[in-house]
Amino acid sequence: MSDPASQIVSPIRILAEDLANQIAAGEVVERPASVVKELVENSIDAGATTIRLDIEGGGKKKIRIMDNGRGMVPDECRLAFSRHATSKIARFEDLETIHSLGFRGEALASIASVAKVRCTSARNESEGGRLIVVEGGELLEEKDIACSQGTTLEVDELFYSTPARSKFLKGDSTEFSHISQVITQQALAYPNIQFLLTHNGREVINTLPTEQLHYRVAELFGADLAKFLLEVDAKSGDYQLKGYVSSPVYTRSSRSAQYCFINGRFVRDKVILHATQQGYSHLLPKGQHPVMFLYLTMDPRLLDVNVHPSKAEVRFAFQQDVHQFVAKGVRSALESNQQTPADFTVREEDIPLDRTTHRSYSSPPSNYQSAKWQAPGQRDLSQPLQTMLGQTPATSQVTWFDKAPTPVSNLIYSEFESIGQLDRSFIIMQGKQGLLVVDQHVAHERILYEQFLGAAKNRKVEVQKLLFPLSMALSPSESELLTPHLSRLLDLGLELEPFGQNEFLLRSVPAILKNGDHEKLLRETIDLLPKGAHEDVLHEKYENILIMMSCRNAIKVNHTLNLEQIRKLISDLEQTSMPYTCPHGRPISLLFEMDDILKKFLRK
């Protein structure tokens, strides 16, 4: 192998301005949504009260943004397309007190280097404005024109000068979904501004200016979500936190409805997300996330927004202080308006652990019930399972078995006899090999999954028409994400019909889910939908939807089954292609081997 140093033959040189701009564009302009974000931020910084965006072809064909902000004087228009040209900062010290959304002065130059840009702007309508046309970084036209106050920017054929970059863009619906998400973020950050967004002539977002954040949330996400929100209002020293979080009774399976803003800037910050989760403590079911719209304000000197070109990441001067303040603010809001779910129970991981045995046996929580043996048709027996298996009292540090029970992968269920339930959650079976414990929920989940999968492949899903169709209001980005999948979801038994702007009617569901929570089912389905992907990824995502449906409809824990029902469940399980693990990969059954049981009772 040759020495890499020997391959360097070109002398050091300064890059041409157009090449430098295209390199910078790689950091600032990742996709059409990046262009929209930069231009909208400029409009907001210019004091606009109305911002209209017309998008074509997912933003790859055309992006037009019009605002009624301050606009630019004629001499500034050409200068605005130069690198590092900005009115937001003038000296190094200004970086420590940034109040504007934009400040780098790279956006317009970067965009113009990879697209065809047409800009008209005027500071004062009576004085006229200026037209600038730039293509691939080259100024093609500049002239005085008559136009109203404000700025209009048209960005055509994004990445036309760098075709390799355009190959990495997704389909029109996917790219527009990212754009609508950006507008949703800005509309939440600035409810006093009217935002109008269209795609291929179809109106997607049209917000009314308001001083009430709660109204803006309802406008974008629907009144059903808004009624579950609790107000957050906290202040401590240099920090102030306002906004809303959802009651613990309203959760989502993803973080798609979590929005955090710091000094008016949308950010994706792990500190805030973790603090919010901590504020909920143990109120959330496992795998569920709250909805949140949080607005944190602080002295700009305590915050560094100059971390990444996208400006979506920040760094705090006192990270621990911010974390504690946000967690306390969220917790206070929940305590003031707390609504604990009716079926809330202490989870196993919430029970304090003994430091020596990694298991807590003494002083269980008041609502914690010991596992009890229950044979169908017989009275409940009061002895806990530990006593029935010959264990000494709970205070002594002993284990049930020297050998841990093993997940099975090759036994025949019919060789075991069903004898009852444990804690109305596990099926107990006995056989020559030992004691078999079957998780009734995951067993039923495996059965339903394979039924769903077979029906979906053959497009023979039995559906149940809803007597009263369910109307659901979605956010613009959720609506754009859902629309391309309507026909595929119909194959799964979910019949959805567009109904007004960003609203849908759910007319039918798989018959097996007719008694479920249909709104929650649809919310979780949307969370699982891919934002444009290859067919193999699409297939995987739709399988995830089937898994979710199976899980939601499977027999739950604490559900009594009689012997006939147990035998039917085990029989159906044995007919599946994989009767030993659920679709999530969890074991369905555990075997306590007879040799180990005999050894425990000193019989061997």
Say which residue the tokens 């009275």 belong to: 379
Q: How confident is the model at residue 168 (pLDDT cuts 50, 70, 90)?
A: confident
Q: How confident is the model at residue 189 (pLDDT cuts 50, 70, 90)?
A: very high
Burial of 296 (0-12, 13-18, 19+ CB in 10 A): buried
Mean predicted lDDT score pLDDT of the chain: 77
Average pLDDT of 32-50?
91
Q: Are 511 and 561 in contact (CB under 8 A)?
A: no
The tens digit of pLDDT for each residue in 516-547 reads: 678 887 888 888 776 655 455 556 667 778 88
* Rounded-to-5 percentages of helix, strand, coil across the chain: 35, 25, 40
Token duo for residue 379: 């009275």
Please say if the pLDDT value at position 23 is more than 60: no
Query: How far apart are the C-alpha atoms of 302 and 314, rounded to whole Å?
Result: 10
% of the chain surpassing 90 pLDDT? 27
How much is the pLDDT for 15? Answer: 52
The tens digit of pLDDT for each residue in 44-77 reads: 988 999 999 999 999 999 999 999 998 888 888 8
Q: How confident is the model at residue 338 (pLDDT cuts 50, 70, 90)?
A: very low
Q: Please tell me the pTM assigned to this model.
A: 0.63
Topology classification of domain 17-206: Heat Shock Protein 90 (3.30.565)
Query: How far apart are the C-alpha atoms of 225 and 475, rounded to whole Å?
Result: 11
CA distances from residue 337 to 215, 244, 257, 445 in whole angstroms, order as listed = 20, 12, 20, 36
Query: How far apart are the C-alpha atoms of 147 and 161, rounded to whole Å?
Result: 30
- Cβ count within 10 A of residue 595: 12
Q: Are 482 and 504 in contact (CB under 8 A)?
A: yes
User: Greater confidence, 377 or 38?
Assistant: 38
Q: Are 54 and 198 in contact (CB under 8 A)?
A: yes
Token duo for residue 535: 């067919």
Query: How far apart are the C-alpha atoms of 464 and 516, rounded to whole Å?
Result: 12
User: Greater confidence, 551 or 220?
Assistant: 220
How much is the pLDDT for 514? Answer: 65
Lowest mean pLDDT among 321-330, 404-413, 468-477: 404-413
Closest among 578, 559, 558, 561 to 569, alpha carbons compared: 561
How much is the pLDDT for 72? Answer: 87
The tens digit of pLDDT for each residue in 358-410 reads: 333 233 333 323 333 333 333 333 333 333 333 333 333 334 445 566 666 67
Say which residue the tokens 């699409």 belong to: 538
Q: How confident is the model at residue 314 (pLDDT cuts 50, 70, 90)?
A: confident
How much is the pLDDT for 557? Answer: 85
CA distances from residue 227 to 224, 291, 395, 457, 479 in whole angstroms, order as listed = 6, 12, 48, 39, 20
Query: How far apart are the C-alpha atoms of 74 and 122, rounded to whole Å?
Result: 7
How much is the pLDDT for 312? Answer: 63
Lowest mean pLDDT among 46-60, 158-172, 302-316, 376-390: 376-390
Token duo for residue 582: 């659920």
Phi/psi of residue 206, each to 5°?
-150, 95
Alpha helices in 421-534 (DSSP H): 440-457, 476-482, 486-491, 518-528
Q: How confident is the model at residue 306 (pLDDT cuts 50, 70, 90)?
A: low
Query: Which value, to the nearest 10 degrees, does the dihedral of the CA atoms of residues 525, 528, 534, 537 take?
Result: -110
Closest among 189, 184, 192 to 221, alpha carbons compared: 184
For residue 512, the 8-state DSSP code is G
For residue 91, the 8-state DSSP code is S
Q: CB-hemisphere CA count at 13 Å for 174?
A: 11
Please say if the pLDDT value at position 171 is more than 90: no
Q: Are 550 and 455 in contact (CB under 8 A)?
A: no
User: Greater confidence, 37 or 6?
Assistant: 37
% of the chain surpassing 70 pLDDT? 75
Instruction: Give the range with max mean pLDDT: 126-135, 236-245, 295-304.
Output: 236-245
Phi/psi of residue 280, each to 5°?
-80, -15
Average pLDDT of 138-153?
90
How much is the pLDDT for 563? Answer: 92
Q: Are 189 and 266 in contact (CB under 8 A)?
A: yes
Q: Are 591 and 434 in contact (CB under 8 A)?
A: yes
Average pLDDT of 67-95?
68
Helix 518-528 crosses helix 535-553 at what angle (to 10 degrees)? 150
Strand 229-236 relative to strand 434-439: parallel, antiparallel, unpaired?
unpaired
Average pLDDT of 262-288?
84
Q: How confident is the model at residue 7 (pLDDT cuts 50, 70, 90)?
A: low
For residue 413, the 8-state DSSP code is G
Q: How confident is the model at residue 562 (pLDDT cuts 50, 70, 90)?
A: very high
How much is the pLDDT for 3? Answer: 54
Lowest mean pLDDT among 228-237, 277-286, 583-592: 277-286
At 200, is the secondary structure helix, strand, or coil? coil
Token duo for residue 402: 């020297």
Q: Are 491 and 462 in contact (CB under 8 A)?
A: no
Q: CB-hemisphere CA count at 13 Å for 444?
A: 22
User: Greater confidence, 427 or 359?
Assistant: 427
Terminal-to-terminal C-alpha distance of the chain: 66
How much is the pLDDT for 27? Answer: 53
Pick the CATH number of 371-604 from 3.30.70.120, 3.30.390.30, 3.30.1540.20, 3.20.190.10: 3.30.1540.20
Q: How confident is the model at residue 12 (pLDDT cuts 50, 70, 90)?
A: low
Closest among 521, 514, 479, 517 to 500, alpha carbons compared: 479
How much is the pLDDT for 289? Answer: 87
Lowest mean pLDDT among 103-117, 154-168, 424-438: 103-117
- Strands of the sheet containing 417-422, edge to edge, are 373-374, 417-422, 426-431, 434-439, 589-593, 406-407
Token duo for residue 82: 């130069």
Say which residue the tokens 């629907």 belong to: 222
Closest among 316, 582, 288 to 446, alpha carbons compared: 582
* Rounded to 5°, angle at Cα 133 from 132 and 136: 135
Q: Is 420 left (phi over 0), alpha (psi -120 to 50) or beta?
A: left
Lowest mean pLDDT among 54-58, 191-195, 267-271, 327-331: 267-271
How much is the pLDDT for 173? Answer: 86
Please say if the pLDDT value at position 326 is more than 90: yes
Token duo for residue 67: 């605002």
Domain boundaries, the chain: 17-206, 213-336, 371-604
Closest among 508, 542, 512, 515 to 445, alpha carbons compared: 512
At 9, is the secondary structure helix, strand, or coil? coil
- Strands of the sheet containing 138-145, edge to edge, are 138-145, 129-135, 116-122, 150-156, 62-67, 50-56, 194-199, 202-206
Return the CATH class of domain 213-336.
alpha beta
Token duo for residue 214: 């709660």
Please say if the pLDDT value at position 584 is more than 80: no
Lowest mean pLDDT among 135-144, 183-192, 453-462: 453-462
Amino acid at 202: R
Q: Are 208 and 219 in contact (CB under 8 A)?
A: yes
Amino acid at 44: I
Closest among 473, 528, 545, 482 to 176, alpha carbons compared: 482
H or E stretch including 325? helix 319-336
